[in-house]
Amino acid sequence: MKFQFTVNVKDQRTDGRLGEVLSGADVDDGDVSTLPSPALLVPTSKGEHATLTMDVLADVEKRLLSVLFYKRGEKKVIDETTRLFGTLVVGGHFVEKRARGGKRARERDGEENGGEEPTGATAETETEAGEATAVAARGPPARRLTVGHYRDPMFFGVNAQSRGGAGLLCDTPFGQKMMTPEEYSRLWSGDAHVACALADEHAGWENEKKSKTAAIRTCEWLDVCVRESKANDVPLWGVVLGGSSHEVREECSKNVAERDDDLTGYVIGGFYAGEAPHERGGLINAALVHVPQQKPRYLPGPATVEEIVDFIERGIDIFDATWASETASRGRAFVFPIRKEDLASDVEDEWVQPSAGTDAYSINLWSTSYKKDFSPFIDKTARAEACACPACSEHTRAYVHHLLQAHEMTSQVLLEAHNLYHLASFFAEARRALRCGEWSEFAAFHRKYAQKACAKLEPSVLPAAAAAAV
């Protein structure tokens, strides 16, 4: 697997930058995908396949690429290798599947041999061949960046136990499983374009002593992951932790950066795990003190629009789409404006509908007020540009409300497809603002919108980040 990151544009007033990630079987030979950053990763859900299957992901991406190409004049920055988001897979989800894949291959080979099980040296050879076939058959998507991570961004329990420093006790689809750095690192051979090193994450409310112990252990595990990643030819990202301590995060940043020659990127981890929201920005700054400028920085967690704007200005390149997934899981669809043109003065206050569970960022499709509403999630009369996602193009609010009431899985697919499309569209506009030197105006618009939302709505119906700021 190959991985390469390039910074193309830097914002003059902040640490924000526009770059691109090249990933694939062989970057040098052109067999790659291009992921422009700031970028999104789509997470898997509950230890199994992503809620959105690869064909739905491709459809969402194709629709947005068409809008960017034909309506927003992005022709010069879009080609056949362009991808608008990558995927995030979790180590705990693969713990048992490697052995199971080998077992299925051996059973298939036994059927072809008349039902007889191979024995002796032949059995060992066929077992190895079966496992190799299973591994080769999986592999990451050829043309979409796939990042391997130890933490499930949707359901990971913070403060997972690290038994005596041997490894991390993780929840998996097959129960709790202890993963050592060696076992974890070997999971990604053939399954990811790049892997995040195993880290001893813990809750943000833990004391500084525990944070320091976890940071030291993370650096020890990093050395093991570096050795294994070289053996398996998998690019590695180092993880910077430190809980709620600025000093520990800065020290961990320094220690991890000392391994920079063996790393292709950095994960600013341990956030959205109980730390105070108003301290998050300062902690990110502390974690970035020693991180090299030429490497990508990834921050996992359900960051909201206001936070994403702030984090981009602090130098973060890659986020995950957990916020889109979480919002969809609650039956809500994004409706927040992406550009200033999306917020017409005559409809500026229509999103304030607390009785329907609607806030400045999403509408609640569980509400009976949408029972006979046959408009799409985002009505073209209230936006400069109609939403072209699979849900808005072919379905209505009333239909999704019915699916939710009937507990149909299709509701989750449509909601998440819309939310991912909307969030990816926001990132595309953020990249355009950076490229055209309009970042200050873009950031100011979204900060002003968030402040207005805080002023008009009760904290109980605000996004978590906005409620904390009230």
Domain boundaries, the chain: 2-37+84-320, 330-469
**What mean pLDDT is reported for the chain?**
81
The secondary element (H helix, E strand) that includes residue 31 is strand 31-37
CATH of domain 330-469: 3.20.20.105
Q: What is the mean pLDDT of residues 254-275?
A: 92
**Residue 157 banded pLDDT, cuts 50, 70, 90:** low
Distance separating alpha carbons of residues 98 and 110, to the nearest angstrom: 19
pLDDT at residue 460, as a whole number: 45
Question: Which of the residue ranges 65-79, 108-122, 430-444 has the most confident prediction, judged by mean pLDDT?
Answer: 430-444
Rounded to two decimals, the pTM is 0.85
Cβ of 138: how many Cβ atoms within 10 Å? 13
Q: What is the pLDDT of residues 364-413, one digit of tens each?
A: 999 999 999 999 998 766 676 789 999 999 999 999 999 999 999 899 99
Cβ of 22: how many Cβ atoms within 10 Å? 19
Read off φ and ψ for residue 9, nearest 5 degrees.
Answer: -140, 140
Single-letter residue type at 177: K
CATH of domain 2-37+84-320: 3.20.20.105
pLDDT at residue 314, as a whole number: 95
Q: What is the mean pLDDT of residues 61-76?
A: 90
pLDDT at residue 466, as a whole number: 46
State percent of the chain over pLDDT 90.
46
pLDDT at residue 73, as a whole number: 84
Q: Kindly list the distances between the CA atom of residue 171 and the CA atoms of 70, 91, 160, 272, 421, in Å, as whole numbers in the listed order.
A: 45, 10, 9, 18, 30
DSSP E strand stretches across 82-240:
85-90, 146-149, 168-172, 175-179, 194-196, 236-240
Q: Do domains 2-37+84-320 and 330-469 have the same CATH topology?
A: yes
pLDDT at residue 98, as a whole number: 53
**Lowest-confidence segment of 150-154, 179-183, 314-318 by average pLDDT:** 150-154
Distance separating alpha carbons of residues 402 and 301, to the nearest angstrom: 30
**Lowest-confidence segment of 248-252, 339-343, 414-418 by average pLDDT:** 339-343
Is 269 a residue whose pLDDT tops 50? yes
Provide the pairing of β-strand 362-364 with 168-172.
Answer: unpaired
**Lowest-confidence segment of 114-128, 250-264, 351-365, 446-460 by average pLDDT:** 114-128
**Lowest-confidence segment of 58-72, 279-293, 452-466 by average pLDDT:** 452-466
**Residue 108 banded pLDDT, cuts 50, 70, 90:** very low
Is 182 a residue whose pLDDT tops 60? yes
Is 457 a residue whose pLDDT tops 60? no
pLDDT at residue 196, as a whole number: 94
DSSP E strand stretches across 150-230:
168-172, 175-179, 194-196
**Residue 48 banded pLDDT, cuts 50, 70, 90:** low
Q: What is the mean pLDDT of residues 85-111?
A: 62
pLDDT at residue 400, as a whole number: 96
Question: Which of the residue ranges 93-102, 174-183, 220-229 has the most confident prediction, judged by mean pLDDT?
Answer: 220-229
